[in-house]
Structure 1
Amino acid sequence: MWSRRLAPGVLLLPLAFLVFRDAPAGLVPPAQSAIGPVPPRGLPQPAIVSRAAWHADEAMVKERPRYTGAAKAVFVHHTGNSNGYDCADAPDLIRAVQAEHIRGEGWDDIGYNFVVDRCGTIYEGRAGGVGRSVRGAHTKGFNADTVGIAALGSFGSGTTVPKALTDGIAKVAAWKLRPGIDPRGTVELVSTNDESLYDKGEVARLAVISGHRDSYGTSCPGEVLYELLPVLREKVAALRAKTGRQAATARLRPTL
């Protein structure tokens, strides 16, 4: 999701003006995952670029993070950037998204919990700890007990979604969804806002991995990415099942 008020020069950066440099090196330490819900079947935390590494503007952040329950669902978004960016410039683009969400939308911080670029690099979004259940501002009416993951780019008709990008989204979704949730199934969520497609207090039955448009009047995450959601659900299910098989094999392996 992105704001219609976003000035074209903020996020849709021409390649001629991009400043090329090495990608950020800092990663969020896996130890942070111990603060939040236990990952399903020992699923490891994927590599995540920290806010410090992409130089989030912490001075702009208005309030301390709030927390919610472990994720019952994932909402997939796109940011509205042009797709021709160099992946080394993803931090610049994410900082622009953060500025628009805070200064343009009036939110406390960047709304998404995570952002994934076209090279599959995963970035920490909203502050509060990647291993904790941080309440985002990504899906009006359904920010409780959910995770918002944004694809950096625009994925309307005629575009292409890189496999690395969907693989990155799948890794985060598989890790963040609470144990026992079927990524290919549905879940009931209660709307907290009348501005969603559901009245406040109404129970919505949504796919565990949904697009933003499933709960709000928007084209997000774009037609092409939305059509790939069934593939994404299968990727997430396969990651969780593979980890379960590996854990079972380890338990049965005889010790010497």
Structure 2
Amino acid sequence: AHPAPQPAVVPREKWLKGAKHRRAPVRYADPVEAAFIHHTNSPNGYDCADVPGIIREVYAAQAGGRHWDDIGYNFLVDRCGTVYEGRAGGTGRAVVGAHAQGFNHHTVGIAAIGVFTAGVPVPKPMTDAIAAVVAWKLGMSDVDPRSMVRLVSSNSLSRFPKGTSARLHAVSGHSDGYSTQCPGAALAAELPAIRKAAARLQGR
């Protein structure tokens, strides 16, 4: 086994602050076999002290405006490298998110707060924190972050028809499984380094 330590995670109660939208029962799907990296497509020039409010806005847009059952991402990471719990259900458990159409089961969704299209700098504290979450969550299942995995699509709205066994990176960008610009070209370019950093944290 190649476990990695759990990074510090700010609990969702710190950003939720009483905001509440109707939420269905939490679903679980063990084991976590892959991570999908996203960006929130929100402004970059924020003060990290304001991040709880930014996450509440994402929550309101997804669970309120789109009537999702909760915020879609399992974790969110800010430019200062702080990791926040997103979706309810327990940070140490394999919570089914709403972040990767067709591939929500057996995956973890990690969102970088900001927009990271081509040419936008990606802060190193952010990529370091993403790597730490990846190493921890995939380490529970002894998945090498540098590896390829097989995931079965549950929805034909993904890049793969429902029931298709897709070969994907254990650490993929959202656009690898769904037709989208997320996580942005700049953050996508950081994925190889994130995979290597996560593997080092697992002692590989």
TM-score band by shorter chain is over 0.9
**Could you give the per-residue CA deviations for residues 21-51 of structure 1, whole angstroms, max 9, x where no partner exists?**
xxxxxxxxxxxxxxxxxxx545221100001
Corresponding residue number in structure 2 for 1:223 = 185
Q: Could you say what secondary structure the match of 1:187 adopts?
A: strand
Counterpart AA for 1:60: H
1:147 aligns to 2:118 (yes or no): no
Counterpart AA for 2:182: C
TM-score (norm 1): 0.77
Question: Partners of 1:221 and 1:41 in 2: how far apart?
Answer: 27
- Per the TM alignment, residue 57 of structure 1 is displaced from its structure 2 partner at its CA by 4.5
Q: Could you say what secondary structure the match of 2:79 adopts?
A: coil
- Per the TM alignment, residue 203 of structure 1 is displaced from its structure 2 partner at its CA by 0.7
Question: Partners of 1:114 and 1:60 in 2: how far apart?
Answer: 18
TM-score (norm 2): 0.96
Corresponding residue number in structure 2 for 1:101 = 62
**Could you give the per-residue CA deviations for residues 73-114 of structure 1, whole angstroms, max 9, x where no partner exists?**
000000011110000000000000001001222210000000
Q: Write the mapping of 1:20-39 to structure 2, written as runs, cut at 5 A.
A: none
Query: Which consecutive unaligned segments of at least 5 residues does structure 2 have?
Result: none
1:211 aligns to 2:180 (yes or no): no
Corresponding residue number in structure 1 for 2:12 = 51
Identity %: 53
Counterpart AA for 1:134: V
Superposition misfits of 4+ residues, deviation over 3 angstroms: none
- Per the TM alignment, residue 151 of structure 1 is displaced from its structure 2 partner at its CA by 0.1
**Higher RCO, Cα 8 Å, sep 6+:** 2
RMSD over aligned Cα atoms: 1.3
- Cα distance change on mapping 1:41 and 1:206 into 2, 3 Å: closer
Q: Write the mapping of 1:87-98 to structure 2, written as runs, cut at 5 A.
A: 87-98=48-59
Corresponding residue number in structure 1 for 2:145 = 183
- Per the TM alignment, residue 62 of structure 1 is displaced from its structure 2 partner at its CA by 1.9
Query: How many positions carry a matched residue from both structures?
Result: 203
Counterpart AA for 2:76: V
1:201 aligns to 2:163 (yes or no): yes
Matched-pair contact (CA < 8 Å) for 1:72–1:181: yes
Larger radius of gyration: 1
Counterpart AA for 2:137: K
Matched-pair contact (CA < 8 Å) for 2:19–2:56: no
- Per the TM alignment, residue 155 of structure 1 is displaced from its structure 2 partner at its CA by 0.1
Matched-pair contact (CA < 8 Å) for 2:34–2:172: yes
Question: Partners of 2:76 and 2:104 in 1: how far apart?
Answer: 16
- Per the TM alignment, residue 181 of structure 1 is displaced from its structure 2 partner at its CA by 1.2
Matched-pair contact (CA < 8 Å) for 1:57–1:95: no
Question: Partners of 2:153 and 2:3 in 1: how far apart?
Answer: 31
Counterpart AA for 2:114: G
Matched-pair contact (CA < 8 Å) for 2:10–2:84: yes
- Per the TM alignment, residue 58 of structure 1 is displaced from its structure 2 partner at its CA by 5.4
Matched-pair contact (CA < 8 Å) for 2:3–2:142: no
1:119 aligns to 2:84 (yes or no): no
**Could you give the per-residue CA deviations for residues 93-149 of structure 1, whole angstroms, max 9, x where no partner exists?**
000000100122221000000000000000000000101110000000000000000
Question: Partners of 2:141 and 2:160 in 1: how far apart?
Answer: 27
Counterpart AA for 1:204: A
Query: Which consecutive unaligned segments of at least 5 residues does structure 1 have?
Result: 1-39, 243-256
Q: Could you say what secondary structure the match of 1:135 adopts?
A: coil
Q: Could you say what secondary structure the match of 1:183 adopts?
A: coil
Question: Partners of 2:94 and 2:74 in 1: how far apart?
Answer: 9
1:86 aligns to 2:47 (yes or no): yes
Question: Partners of 2:102 and 2:141 in 1: how far apart?
Answer: 23
